[in-house]
Amino acid sequence: RPRHFLSLKDLTSTELATLVDNATAHKNALQSASRSSWPLASSLSGSTISLIFSKRSTRTRVSTEGAVVALGGHPMFLGKDDIQLGVNESLYDTSVVISSMTAGIVARVGPHKDIADLAKDSSVPVINALCDTFHPMQIVADLACLTQALSTNAAGLKGLKIAWVGDANNVLYDMCIGARKLGIDMAVATPKGYEIPDRVKSMIEEAGEGTLLETNEPEQAVKDANVIVTDTWISMGQEEESQKRLKAFAGYQVTEDMAKRGGAADDWKFMHCLPRHAEEVNDEVFYGPRSLVFPEAQNRLWSAIATLEGFVVNKGDIKKTQS
Ligand code: CP
Ligand code: NVA
Q: What is the CATH number of the domain that holds 270?
A: 3.40.50.1370
**Residues 106 and 245 placed together within one structural domain of the fold:** no
The answer to whether position 79 is within a domain reads: yes
**Residues 162 and 284 placed together within one structural domain of the fold:** yes
**Residues 129 and 252 placed together within one structural domain of the fold:** no
Q: What atom in ligand 1 is closest to the CA of residue 55?
A: 6
**CA nearest neighbour of 121 among 84, 100, 92:** 92
Mean of pLDDT values over 213-240: 98
The answer to whether position 305 is within a domain reads: yes
**CA nearest neighbour of 299 among 25, 55, 42, 105:** 25
For residue 235 and ligand 2, the question of a CB distance below 6 A is answered with: yes
| Burial class (CB within 10 angstroms; exposed 0-12, middle 13-18, buried 19+) of 37 | exposed
Active-site option among 131, 145, 176, 273: 273
The answer to whether position 321 is within a domain reads: no
The Cα–Cα gap between 95 and 118 comes to 5
Query: 10 Å Cβ neighbour count for 80?
Result: 15
pLDDT tens digit string along 107-126? Answer: 999 999 999 999 999 999 99
pTM over 0.95: yes
**Residues 261 and 120 placed together within one structural domain of the fold:** no
The pLDDT assigned to 32 comes to: 93
273 a catalytic residue: yes
Distance 304 CA to ligand 2 centre (A): 17
The pLDDT assigned to 209 comes to: 87
The answer to whether position 318 is within a domain reads: no
Name the closest-CA residue to atom 2, ligand 2.
Answer: 235
**Residues 123 and 167 placed together within one structural domain of the fold:** no
**Residues 308 and 284 placed together within one structural domain of the fold:** no
Mean of pLDDT values over 295-307: 98
Q: What atom in ligand 1 is closest to the CA of residue 129?
A: 3
pLDDT tens digit string along 245-270? Answer: 999 999 999 999 999 999 999 999 99
ipTM, 2 dp: 0.99
**CA nearest neighbour of 257 among 232, 288, 236:** 288
Residues with Cβ within 8 Å of 198's Cβ and at least 6 positions away in sequence, in order, are none
The answer to whether position 269 is within a domain reads: yes
Q: Read off the amino acid at residue 323.
A: S
**Residues 143 and 75 placed together within one structural domain of the fold:** no
Arithmetic mean of pLDDT over the chain: 97
Residues with Cβ within 8 Å of 293's Cβ and at least 6 positions away in sequence, in order, are 270, 271, 272, 274, 276, 286
The answer to whether position 125 is within a domain reads: yes
Confidence grade of residue 210 (pLDDT, cut at 50, 70, 90): confident
**Residues 249 and 214 placed together within one structural domain of the fold:** yes
**Residues 221 and 275 placed together within one structural domain of the fold:** yes
Distance 261 CA to ligand 2 centre (A): 28
The answer to whether position 143 is within a domain reads: yes
Mean of pLDDT values over 151-163: 98
Considering the chain, what percentage of its residues have pLDDT values greater than 70? 100
The answer to whether position 26 is within a domain reads: yes
The pLDDT assigned to 57 comes to: 98
**Residues 59 and 195 placed together within one structural domain of the fold:** no
Name the closest-CA residue to atom 4, ligand 1.
Answer: 59
Distance 51 CA to ligand 1 centre (A): 14
Give the total number of structural domains in the chain: 2
**Residues 146 and 110 placed together within one structural domain of the fold:** no
323 has pLDDT over 90: no
For residue 168 and ligand 1, the question of a CB distance below 6 A is answered with: no
Residues in the chain: 323
- Tell me which residue range forms the domain holding 25: 8-134+300-313
Taking CA atoms, 289 is separated from 5, 149, 235, in Å, by 34, 12, 27
**Residues 99 and 180 placed together within one structural domain of the fold:** no
